Every structure is written in C-alpha cells, then in structure tokens.
Structure 1
Amino acid sequence: MAGKFLVSLTNAKNDPDKATVGFVVANAAVASGQETVVFLNVEGAYLASKGYANDIHEEGFAPLKQLMDQFVEAGGTLWVCSPCFKKRGLDEEKLVEGAVIVGGAKLVEFLSQGAASITY
C-alpha cells in the first residue's frame, strides 16, 4: 500500500530555491509510489498560473516548469489554496495543467489520512 505525502509550497519567485526544491522532493515522492499532493499556498499560489513558472530556473536544478510538468505527468496531484488564489487576483481560466483549486477542508482530509508533510 502506497503512503501519502504532502508538499506544502509557500514560495514562488520570492524564493525560487524553495519553490524548486519543493517540486524536486514531490517528484521523488511520486516516483517512489507515494500518493503525492503539492499544495500551492501563500506566494506558492502564483505557480498555479500558466506562464508564471516559465522563467524560474535555479542553478543546479531542472527548470521549475519542467519539474512541475513531470510531477503532474507522473500522477502527482496539484492543489491550489482557494483563498490564497483569490487574494492574489489570479484567473481560474489560466490554471496550469492538472491544478485544482481546493479549500482547507480538502487539505485537512488528506492530512488526517496519515499523510506525511513537508513545507517549503
């Protein structure tokens, strides 16, 4: 039985190193068979907008957009904090592939099922 793993990502262009490492870890988790969710919240909510991550590329890592695409293609789940998304005036019509806007109840439900969690 696969375990559950959550990466809470609170950063984007404000700290591209943390945003990138968050997706590196998420990709490792999904590749190891974990049911993996990346929760984009606070500044991380910006990553849910098409085109936003295109120019984020930390030295020593693959480009963030590539890491995000790999995560979704590998079966990872991408959740976006609803109030965080709305607060930043982002457009639901411009969500990246695989992103779903969720409320806190969905996150609590996943965590209550025994998911390990890490925050970047």
Structure 2
Amino acid sequence: MTRSLVIKVTAGAEAPERTNQALTVAAAAAAAGVAVSVWLTGESAWFAVPGKAEEFPVLPHATPVSDLLQVVLSGGRVTLCTQCAARRGLTEADLIEGIRIAGAPSFVEEVTREGAQALVY
C-alpha cells in the first residue's frame, strides 16, 4: 500500500500561520517521499498564479510560502479547485506550470484511495 497525503488549503493572506503550516506539512511530507497532493481552495487559490506566493508575508521562523510550494511541486501534485478558479477568473493558462485545475470528484477520488490521509487547513 502506498502512503499518500492530501492537504486541502482553504486559507490565504487572511490566515498566514494556517497557510504556512499547511504548506510546511506538505513540503515535509514530499521531502520524506510521501505521495503528496495539495488542493488550493478559497483564498489560497491565488498561490497558483505566478508571483502571488512571493507576495505572501514571510513569517518569523518559517520557510517562505513560495519555497514550500516549489518543494511540493517538485515532488507532488498541486491542484486548484475548479470553482475557486472560476470565481477568480483563472484558467490553466494563468497558472504556475505543473498546477492543474480539477473539481470535487477528483478530490473525493484522492482522499478515498487506500492508504490516503487527508488534512484540511
């Protein structure tokens, strides 16, 4: 059985610690060889757009969100919620290379796979 971790990030700039914690856990799991899937929803949707993660405030004693996102992208999957993208007028052409847009059926498929663990931040 393959271990996998699905993390749904619901916060953005309005909750910087929660946002950074979610991506820190995702990056740590990816670095440990766990199959990681991060779902960007709500205000975290903006991190899928080039340059937006770099605008996020750097928290004391924390790795910048842009660096964490790159670690996840290099070893895992990042998905932008379909509805969240549509509400913000974002299409695949607007996103960082490697980030896909998918909806609830894909999320449900990922979190119900054998060996999957899901976290929501």
TM-score in terms of structure 2 length: 0.90
**Per-residue displacement from partner, 1:43-95 (whole Å, max 9, x unpaired)?**
1111111111112211111111111112112x110011001111122243220
Aligned residues: 119
Partners of 2:25 and 2:68 in 1: how far apart?
10
Residues 4 and 116 in structure 1, CA contact (< 8 A), matched pair in contact too: yes
Counterpart position of 2:67 = 66
Deviation of the 1:27 alpha carbon: 1.0
1:34-113 mapped onto 2 (5 Å cutoff): 34-56=34-56, 57-73=58-74, 75-113=75-113
Q: Can you give the 5+ residue segments of structure 2 that lack an aligned partner in the other structure?
A: none
Tell whether the 8 Å contact from 2:8 to 2:39 is kept in structure 1 after alignment.
yes
Shift of 1:2: 3.0
Structure 1: state its 5+ residue gaps.
Answer: none
Q: C-alpha displacement at 1:98, in angstroms?
A: 1.6
Checking the alignment, whether the CA contact within 8 Å between 1:2 and 1:33 is kept in structure 2 is: no
SS of the residue aligned with 1:100? strand
CA distance in 2, matches of 1:97, 1:66: 15
- Of 87-96 and 63-72, more deviation after overlay is shown by 87-96
Write the deviation string for residues 18-56 of structure 1: whole angstroms up to 9, x where unpaired: 111111100111122221100001111111111111122
Does structure 2 retain, via aligned residues, the 8 Å contact 1:49–1:91? no
Q: Distance in 2 between matches of 1:28 and 1:70?
A: 9
